[in-house]
Structure 1
């Protein structure tokens, strides 16, 4: 190897990079095709939620708004006595999930719990009840905890942030060393920074693959299984991350000579192609690939991410190296070029961000009423600060005084870097947040609008269900039980609903007894807020008690 000339080495690097690109293309071609969707919503079920059916069904059918994928052993039907009523594995056909159940099961209330994966790789969970013959005390599915582990959720956000940070550390040094670096200066510092960036992106990608297993299944950080990994690797999310790892490995062959010396034109073109392909893996594994316009969203998000990496990476190189080490003549040549690059990157960021926001937010109301919208507003506010500082820096460069007095420029660059790091953190949180366009349509399962709570008094226990817990018409179901969870016969039901914060006085709820312990009513709630639901239950000629529930109405 010692006698190998530079040219053969470059050809080997080019062949390795081309092989990596070929593997990427093949992987993209064989990756599972997934129709456009995001954070699927449970749109209907059979039997319907809170319904009472005369006899036990042979199957429970869940219909989601979009196609979903299976999470092993996370769809269950629990009988009134707490035993499993489902029989065999559920079948998945696009947006429809069919769960076989025992039709000869006991009478009473059944609990259906589910956790599935939407097309944008995020888990969707929920639960509802239905009753056979007559309602009873709802069972509890103690063996199917679908709540997300907070440690895993935090780790996922940290991994995403490290991936973004690594991209910045990789792109900035590579770009500046290839086009702006003075020949007299040592390349050692930027080279180390670039390799750290490459390592961070690789580690973050591996962490994403690992964390996706407990994140989708609802387990702890180390609760991973071979079946879980198989499910992740067989998804579009897994394919995109494996492709990214392959592209990183291929890029490393060309990155080494580029970091050591100015690269040739062919090597730079191949490396640029690999870089663009790698950028596409981020949107292909997240919300953009499942948006209403996936092709547009993927391209726009890749442009947004690439522009961020160029801008922030270049700022980092200026602050850490060039403004410290370059002389006046060199800065006089470098700063005007960088200023044009930064203006181009910022313009691309603004355009791509605007398009993506229009797609993901959809309506002005969603911008203010959803977590995604509020995070986006915070990101926009911080970005405006960065733009103002960047404009100040550009004015310094235009006055041609920055080369003689680089200190003001360096201070401005440091402010840009500090604020943009916070923006990166918000971006890492945004990619894990339900898009506003989906959030306003209503979440899935039990969160889709069914409010349920249990109230206690000295005489009885009362289960209250209100559906869909939104402004407008709502149905109310009341179930009374004794202290030992037996149906409690009720002589008289009375109920009112009030919204004191909006000055709405108590509204009388007309109630129709369906059984001895079950009453039903309809009520129109005209405004959003925390409604006070007051229910009086008379169990005999002289015994009665009143309980109160606070019901959040969207």
Structure 2
């Protein structure tokens, strides 16, 4: 039992030690209207944000903020993957606007973020409400922690139940393993209850302790909440049906002759036992051994499958092009993991010590074959999931999801090496301290894999991470001032090449629009120094706007210079620097 408690400690410590991945990250914003970083001539009456998957807006957390900080948006609506936000005209319409959003993606995870655009010219970016775009640190830690607890609970149900049903030595006490199953049921139920509470805080951006009855009601009536209620119902039914199937059958009275007692239940192997006392000559016939009712066994199996199905239905698997496939492989993956790790825990916690060598000689070869099959199914199902969630090979090293997956695969390689060593020991009939150490390594490393899995389900899948890059922080905006004018400009997208658009707006020192007679812009690489390339800019209507382009042939820091003539004799030059990545 000490080893089991050690497993739980490692499980929880690993989950806490891993970096808390942002929970707001699954459906990815892939576009908006007005476009991210763009400058438009007049205030819009509606803005839209398009996502990679269908989403549902969190009430009160989708808004548009005007340049002066005023909230000017109405109630957001959804059409497929597009969120539409009605907008009224701001009191001070010129400047940079902020679209702040927090929505729930199809895989039940919250997504938060912010996009800017400008009217007339860029200005200081309005501040986004913290609750609308971020997740409170207490929630960011609690989500993977309780998911890890749930995974641990599954292993503590599956492993002991498997051994008690098929491989448990008849003379060993079953009470410890049965207690472990009850602990597993309790941990899995606690994880489900925590997920219900945490979902509301993930949606609102509030702290762990700031949950309201209305928010809980909203979660419980959602698809996510109903699935978790179904999981809790399954756990309650298993708590009633499972233990009676796994308790040791009552000893029956043997008569007239001595019969060797079987070593294993369902394994087909027997161990000679000491002769029992002679039965009285006039005893009654032996009572038949009671067998579990087949209906109860079928019910337990169906409940187990139903309970496992609720996990992929509340995660990444439901928000992909082939959800039926990913849900099935998700169930297989979790079942294989629970059988493998749960069996290892049962071995290290109960059977590798204080079990006769000849009994282990029967148990271990059977378990070794089962473990090998579990690993095969685990790897196959995991490979299918990884291919679907990554979307492309470069995402394996270009996204956080892919890099975490590589770490997980590296640890899995260590586990498989330890498992291969343990299998060689079993086939060579060596089951001493070396085997116990090898199995212990398997348990510790697989525990880390469980915790990594808990973090992976909170990270953008590679397929969404690649899409999200299309809308992230490209472009450069600044305001430059001279004695004659103030110029606000935006360069987009600030990349190597010729196609970098410059959109500029000109104002008098008092803030009124100013029409220029002539515009000119240039860019000069500072190190190594290159000659400036001057480009004219075309004036637009209204007359205080101009459009041009810049070329950035090499990566480095460029000096961008605007020379603007506002009358026949009045001309001024302003400069700034822009960094261009390779």
Deviation of the 1:41 alpha carbon: 3.4
2:444 to 411, 415, 418: 418
Deviation of the 1:187 alpha carbon: 1.4
Q: Does 1:158 align with 2:186?
A: no
Seen in structure 2, the aligned counterparts of structure 1 residues 277 and 536 have a Cα distance that, compared at 3 Å, is same
2:198 to 208, 211, 215: 211
Q: Distance in 1 between matches of 2:123 and 2:184?
A: 56
2:161 to 158, 168, 174: 174
Q: Does 1:547 align with 2:576?
A: yes
1:74-113 equivalent positions in 2, closer than 5 A: 74-87=61-74, 89-103=75-89, 106-109=92-95, 110-113=97-100
Kindly indicate whether the alpha-carbon contact (under 8 Å) linking 2:486 and 2:506 is maintained by their aligned counterparts in 1.
yes
- 2:468 match: secondary structure: coil
Seen in structure 2, the aligned counterparts of structure 1 residues 464 and 291 have a Cα distance that, compared at 3 Å, is farther
Equivalent residue, structure 1, for 2:272 = none
Seen in structure 2, the aligned counterparts of structure 1 residues 238 and 518 have a Cα distance that, compared at 3 Å, is farther
Seen in structure 2, the aligned counterparts of structure 1 residues 76 and 345 have a Cα distance that, compared at 3 Å, is same
Equivalent residue, structure 1, for 2:472 = 448
Q: Which string of whole-angstrom CA distances, capped at 9 and with x for unpartnered residues, describes residues 286-309 of structure 1?
A: 001111211111110111111011
Seen in structure 2, the aligned counterparts of structure 1 residues 488 and 50 have a Cα distance that, compared at 3 Å, is farther
Q: Distance in 1 between matches of 2:238 and 2:509?
A: 68
2:560 to 531, 535, 539: 535
Q: Which string of whole-angstrom CA distances, capped at 9 and with x for unpartnered residues, describes residues 91-123 of structure 1?
A: 223223222222585531333222211101222
Deviation of the 1:511 alpha carbon: 6.6
Length, aligned pairs only: 505
Q: Does 1:314 align with 2:343?
A: yes
TM-score by length of 2: 0.77
Q: What root-mean-square deviation, in Å, do the aligned CA atoms of Structure 1 and Structure 2 show?
A: 3.5
Kindly indicate whether the alpha-carbon contact (under 8 Å) linking 2:144 and 2:455 is maintained by their aligned counterparts in 1.
yes
Q: Distance in 1 between matches of 2:27 and 2:509?
A: 39
- 2:53 match: secondary structure: coil
53-62 or 271-280, larger mean C-alpha shift:
53-62
Task: Give the gaps of 5 or more residues in structure 2.
Answer: 1-24, 250-290
Deviation of the 1:324 alpha carbon: 0.5
Q: Distance in 2 between matches of 1:92 and 1:67?
A: 9
Deviation of the 1:362 alpha carbon: 2.1
Kindly indicate whether the alpha-carbon contact (under 8 Å) linking 1:454 and 1:461 is maintained by their aligned counterparts in 2.
no
Q: Distance in 2 between matches of 1:534 and 1:428?
A: 47
Larger helix proportion of the pair: 1
Kindly indicate whether the alpha-carbon contact (under 8 Å) linking 2:65 and 2:72 is maintained by their aligned counterparts in 1.
yes
Seen in structure 2, the aligned counterparts of structure 1 residues 525 and 547 have a Cα distance that, compared at 3 Å, is closer
Q: Which string of whole-angstrom CA distances, capped at 9 and with x for unpartnered residues, describes residues 513-542 of structure 1?
A: 668886654456689xx8535334568989
1:370-389 equivalent positions in 2, closer than 5 A: 370-389=399-418
Task: Give the gaps of 5 or more residues in structure 1.
Answer: 1-37
Q: Distance in 2 between matches of 1:106 and 1:138?
A: 13
Seen in structure 2, the aligned counterparts of structure 1 residues 511 and 189 have a Cα distance that, compared at 3 Å, is farther
Seen in structure 2, the aligned counterparts of structure 1 residues 361 and 148 have a Cα distance that, compared at 3 Å, is same
Q: Does 1:61 align with 2:48?
A: yes
2:419 to 390, 397, 400: 390
Q: Distance in 1 between matches of 2:557 and 2:220?
A: 48
- 1:325 match: secondary structure: coil
Q: Distance in 1 between matches of 2:386 and 2:323?
A: 14
272-281 or 510-519, larger mean C-alpha shift:
510-519
Q: Distance in 2 between matches of 1:229 and 1:169?
A: 29
TM-score by length of 1: 0.80
Deviation of the 1:356 alpha carbon: 1.1
Q: Does 1:361 align with 2:386?
A: no
Equivalent residue, structure 2, for 1:13 = none
- 1:239 match: secondary structure: helix
Q: Distance in 2 between matches of 1:531 and 1:437?
A: 31
Q: Distance in 1 between matches of 2:315 and 2:246?
A: 31
Q: Distance in 1 between matches of 2:439 and 2:489?
A: 58
1:456-535 equivalent positions in 2, closer than 5 A: 465-468=490-493, 473-477=499-503, 494=521, 496=523, 508=533, 510=535, 512=537, 520-523=547-550, 532-535=557-560
Equivalent residue, structure 2, for 1:264 = 292
- 1:324 match: secondary structure: coil
Deviation of the 1:547 alpha carbon: 3.3
Kindly indicate whether the alpha-carbon contact (under 8 Å) linking 2:62 and 2:101 is maintained by their aligned counterparts in 1.
yes
1:40-51 equivalent positions in 2, closer than 5 A: 40-51=27-38
Q: Distance in 2 between matches of 1:98 and 1:127?
A: 15
Seen in structure 2, the aligned counterparts of structure 1 residues 352 and 506 have a Cα distance that, compared at 3 Å, is farther
1:222 to 209, 234, 237: 209
Kindly indicate whether the alpha-carbon contact (under 8 Å) linking 1:75 and 1:115 is maintained by their aligned counterparts in 2.
yes
1:251 to 229, 235, 238: 238
1:129-168 equivalent positions in 2, closer than 5 A: 129-132=116-119, 134-135=120-121, 137-138=123-124, 140-143=126-129, 145=131, 146-168=133-155
1:72 to 59, 84, 87: 59
Seen in structure 2, the aligned counterparts of structure 1 residues 496 and 239 have a Cα distance that, compared at 3 Å, is farther
Q: Which string of whole-angstrom CA distances, capped at 9 and with x for unpartnered residues, describes residues 21-71 of structure 1?
A: xxxxxxxxxxxxxxxxx9333344334444455544433233333321020
Seen in structure 2, the aligned counterparts of structure 1 residues 511 and 542 have a Cα distance that, compared at 3 Å, is closer
Kindly indicate whether the alpha-carbon contact (under 8 Å) linking 1:71 and 1:116 is maintained by their aligned counterparts in 2.
yes
Equivalent residue, structure 2, for 1:24 = none
- 2:353 match: secondary structure: helix
Deviation of the 1:75 alpha carbon: 1.2
Kindly indicate whether the alpha-carbon contact (under 8 Å) linking 1:136 and 1:487 is maintained by their aligned counterparts in 2.
no
